[in-house]
Amino acid sequence: MPSIHPLGAGIGAEVRGVDVRALGPGEFATIYRAWLDSGVMVIPGQQLAITEFLDYSRRFGTLKPHPSKSTRHRDHPEITLLGVRKFRPDGSLDQAIYRRGAEDWHTDGAYDADPFKATQLYALAIPSSGGDTHFASGYAAHDALPDALKRRLAGVRGAFVYGGRRRSVALLSAEDRDRPPAFHKILRVHPETGRTALYFDPGKILYLEGMPAAESDALIEELTDRMIVPEATYSHRWRVGDIVIWDNRCTYHKAAGDYPPEEDRIHWRVTIKESAAGAQSLA
């Protein structure tokens, strides 16, 4: 049977004693529950072919090819390659690939009407130093908001786009750069746990709906300061063979973006939707 070990305070769990290629329904239910409870689940020591990783990932929901077409795996578009082709033909380092996910704390997929349920990474190559992924709890962020701010945000929706206010769209193809925003409640009830999380992403939000621009900007700044509760964080130090899956509905993450660029740091990455309809909406 899988054994579950907590990692951070209220965030993160490591599952030991499993081979994800051979999980029975009862074992999968146990680890799925552990994932919902912890927000970030680590399963070390896996040796997977790409189709085995895809088959296991599909047990969590429907896979959705990432809008960054240039970083998709050629034969398996549901797989995004992290850290591949980070040097340009002229030898210069492509920062958009090297520092992908390292600019801001964020949640993946807020630019979709049906945001990503989960993101799952499998580590193929890990540098000798640096390259961690940091995680933080969106439930803890919500719970720590002052009551007056919770009241002010009740029912308020944010408008989100891929590149946010900075228009960071380097990894997108030209035809995908000008999509309309998606709207999500900032205090969002998790559909499976029933708990409320602060659903926020400073790099993707454009504005808070129904407010004068100055008030919206000030609130975005305040939420950027409040979204990380240091007591409810976990930093993952990668090992080859690790699978890490996080819940984008109740956690934030950020790549450290600090490893020696001449070394490899390569992952297979999938994004997982709650419903098949959502997975098809913007493919």
Ligand X SMILES: O=C(O)CCC(=O)C(=O)O
Nearest to 120 by CA among 58, 175, 171: 58
By beta carbon distance, the residue nearest ligand X is 101
273: partner contacted, choices ligand X, Fe ion, none (Cβ within 5-8 A by kind): none
Compute, in degrees rounded to 10, the torsion defined by CA atoms 151, 156, 159, 162: 50
Please state the closest distance from residue 245 (CB atom) to ligand X, in A: 11
* Binding status of residue 204 toward ligand X by CB under 6 A: no
Span interacting with Fe ion, options 16-24, 53-61, 94-102, 216-224, rule CB under 5 A: 94-102
133: partner contacted, choices Fe ion, ligand X, none (Cβ within 5-8 A by kind): ligand X
255: partner contacted, choices Fe ion, ligand X, none (Cβ within 5-8 A by kind): ligand X
Please state the closest distance from residue 98 (CB atom) to ligand X, in A: 10
Tokens of 191: 């559909």
Do 153 and 186 contact (CB within 8 A), yes or no?
yes
* Binding status of residue 255 toward ligand X by CB under 6 A: yes
Tokens of 259: 């490893």
Within the chain, what is the greatest distance between any pair of CA atoms?
55
* Binding status of residue 251 toward ligand X by CB under 6 A: no
- Provide the residue type at 89 as one letter: P
Question: Is 108 or 114 the residue whose CB approaches Fe ion more closely?
Answer: 108
* Binding status of residue 101 toward ligand X by CB under 6 A: yes
- Alpha helix ranges (H) inside 176-268: 213-226
Residue 255 phi, psi dihedral angles, 5° rounding? -80, 145
* Binding status of residue 274 toward Fe ion by CB under 5 A: no
Span interacting with Fe ion, options 9-17, 33-41, 59-67, 96-104, rule CB under 5 A: 96-104
Query: For Fe ion, which residue of 39, 67, 101, 138 counts as binding (CB under 5 A)?
Result: 101
Please state the closest distance from residue 146 (CB atom) to ligand X, in A: 29
Range 95-99, long-range pairs (CB < 8 A, 24+ positions): 96/170, 96/171, 97/71, 97/171, 98/257, 98/261, 99/255, 99/257
- Provide the residue type at 234 as one letter: Y
Question: Is 162 or 207 the residue whose CB approaches ligand X more closely?
Answer: 162
269: partner contacted, choices ligand X, Fe ion, none (Cβ within 5-8 A by kind): ligand X
Task: For residue 185, count other CB atoms closer than 10 A to its CB.
Answer: 15
Rounded CA-CA distance 161/11 in Å is 27
* Binding status of residue 109 toward Fe ion by CB under 5 A: no
Binding site for ligand X (CB under 6 A): 82, 100-101, 108, 119, 133, 253, 255, 269
